Structure 1
Amino acid sequence: MAQENTPSNPVDEWKSVVVDLADAQDWVSTWINLPEDQQKQFKPAEMRAFVVRRADFVDLLAQTDTEFARVYIGIKPNPESPTGQEACLVFASAARKGTIDPHAKEDEKHIIVDLIGEQEVYNWKEERMEKYNFELFDVTRPCPPICDPKSPLFIEGDSDIPCQ
């Protein structure tokens, strides 16, 4: 059964967010370099999963030459969360180097490289390099609060954040 589109439904208010590279770098750095005293803030039960809308995958994969999605873990500000931060996933388009660079060395052709910001990629049909602007996306919402407690993968844990 389809959900009604009401303002009280947080999923319907959900928008795809293009992320500035500097913000994405800051969020990933915050995760990687999380001070030991803050590591207790992010309990496994409070970031057990992430939900992503189909439309957001479509937007990401629709970027020119996107063969893969690379997903980075980060922590971003969220004034509505109990800690003022929330875990997030930052999605980047990615491709095999050999599909975007006709001059890639043989041993580098299968390396998967991120496509971020303005980059030149080879247009095989036109036989020329073309510039494209590849965007980063923050399209996830953590569980909790957006969870499915009836999922066979939802394992009870210590979390005071209720599921919606």
Structure 2
Amino acid sequence: MENQPNNIPKPNPRNTISLEVAKQWAKEWRDDEASYNKYNQCRAFNIPKKDLIEVLAEGVESIRAYIGVEKIDVKGKQSIFTEKLMIVGVDKNGKDMISSSDGLTLDDGKGEIFDFSEPCPHVCDEGSPINGG
């Protein structure tokens, strides 16, 4: 499990990421979707209970999950790509509970974008019929 992308420390211990990073990952997914999925086997995402509870803040009526790809350049080696599931709270009006005046950064106290998922393969139930077991 050495050097797995999910073992790379996040800048925030609560597993939140910036809006800029979330937008970059989602763009990577859209840009690379046709060719990316030919070579990668992401089937599901494992989401820890404690993290899912964290996203269910006051005022959250539901959650929305966005799909993205994190690209990690490893010096002297081919880039590593890891599928990401980014989750945000959604209010009673169906709006993402994030606020950004500049389109790049989150305004303080106006919502969070969570990155706490681990893709399968790596964190899988190999015997699950949903996973082809």
| TM-score, scaled to structure 1 | 0.60
1:94-130: per-residue Cα shift (whole Å, max 9, x none)?
Answer: 0122xxxxxxxxxxxxxx11111369xxxxxxxxxxx
Q: 4+ residue stretches of structure 1 with deviation over 2 A?
A: 13-16, 35-42, 77-80
Taking the aligned partners of 2:73 and 2:128, their CA distance within structure 1 comes to 29
What secondary structure is seen at the aligned counterpart in 2 of 1:28? helix
RMSD: 2.9
Contact 1:41-1:83 at 8 Å conserved across structures? no
Taking the aligned partners of 1:35 and 1:154, their CA distance within structure 2 comes to 21
Quote the residue 1:150 is aligned against: 127
Describe the shift of the 1:39–1:144 C-alpha distance in structure 2 as closer, same or farther (beyond 3 A): closer
Segments of structure 2 that go 5 or more residues without pairing to the other structure are 102-107
Contact 1:52-1:141 at 8 Å conserved across structures? yes
Taking the aligned partners of 1:137 and 1:38, their CA distance within structure 2 comes to 23
Taking the aligned partners of 1:35 and 1:149, their CA distance within structure 2 comes to 25
Larger Cα Rg: Structure 1 or Structure 2? 1
Taking the aligned partners of 2:42 and 2:36, their CA distance within structure 1 comes to 15
Q: Do residues 50 (structure 1) and 84 (structure 2) align? A: no
Quote the residue 1:76 is aligned against: 70
Quote the residue 2:105 is aligned against: none
Segments of structure 1 that go 5 or more residues without pairing to the other structure are 1-7, 98-111, 120-130, 157-164
| Structure showing the higher strand proportion among its residues | 1
1:57-101: per-residue Cα shift (whole Å, max 9, x none)?
Answer: 111002x31111000000012468x8501111000110122xxxx
What secondary structure is seen at the aligned counterpart in 1 of 2:65? strand
Quote the residue 1:109 is aligned against: none
Contact 1:118-1:132 at 8 Å conserved across structures? no
Alignment equivalent of 1:114, drawn from 66, 72, 96: 96
The one-letter amino acid paired with 2:49 is R
Contact 1:93-1:114 at 8 Å conserved across structures? yes
